[in-house]
Amino acid sequence: MVELYDLLIEISDAADKLLKEQSPPQKEKEALLLFAIGKTEKTSKAISFLCQRGFGQDAAMLSRSLFELALTVDYIMSDKSGYLVKRFFAYDWIQRKEMYDYLKNYDNQYKNIKKEAEIAQKKYKYNKYRGWSKISISRMAEKCGWGNMYKTIYKILCAFTHANTRSFNDYLKMDEANNFLVDSGPNTSLIDETLVLSAYSYLQVLYYFDSYFNKDYKSYLKKIEEKIIEICSIKGLN
């Protein structure tokens, strides 16, 4: 298990090197990648903190969010036309309008937000059940070649994010003396799966960052990926 924590540290160090002397974002894809690295770095540290203390189930929820972020980056960056990144950022107007509608705070600022939201909605035809994207997470995973990861580790971790009977056995147990207990203390459950998914997700973000900004770190990142694959093979997490 120690090697998984070391891997996250190694990936974090790689991110520091990639960000060295980085300029502020000038384009939408640059902003997306810088945001993704910042969020992934902070969340991966929180995941390590929780896992080291035996709270893998709770860390799993954060790992799931990293998977979705990395997948979103992959989906958007793979689109060479720039349509998806514009659609992604334009959706902010829809969210801001919804917030104002809920608060019923119709001031002058709202008028501009409403106008921009209407422009964005007319151009991109958002579906409120899909958020900024036209497709589901599962479909996005298939399109980006993440299908196996989605159907295995990601699906397992989803059970701990929502109220789901699949996660009951992690909390309701019989002890060695056959006494019933509600297990809310630290344990080793889901720690390996959570750390693997976190490392994989973080690495995918760095691959795109390296490629977009021509940092020439691909071979270095590839060595880290090989370590992840080797650990997965040893632990049966393929």
- Band (pLDDT 50/70/90 cuts) for residue 1 is low
The answer to whether 144 touches 71, Cβ cutoff 8 Å, is yes
- Residue 6 has a pLDDT of 93
Judge whether residue 106 has pLDDT over 70.
no
Q: Which stretches of the chain are assigned E, i.e. beta strand?
A: 172-174, 180-182
Distance CA 69, CA 18 (A): 19
pTM: 0.87
Closest by CA position to 198, among listed 159, 234, 231, 163? 231
The answer to whether 40 touches 69, Cβ cutoff 8 Å, is yes
- Residue 76 has a pLDDT of 98
Cα torsion 80, 81, 82, 86: sign: negative
Radius of gyration of the chain (CA): 20
Tokens of 69: 């972020």
Mean pLDDT, all residues of the chain: 90
Distance CA 61, CA 104 (A): 32
- Residue 238 has a pLDDT of 63
Three-state DSSP class for residue 174? strand
Closest by CA position to 70, among listed 148, 167, 3, 137? 137
Judge whether residue 109 has pLDDT over 90.
no
Distance CA 5, CA 58 (A): 17
- For 182, residues 6+ apart whose C-beta sits below 8 A from its C-beta are 171, 172
**Residue-wise pLDDT tens digits, 148-192:** 888 888 887 777 776 666 667 777 778 788 888 887 788 888 899
Three-state DSSP class for residue 223? helix
Distance CA 216, CA 207 (A): 10
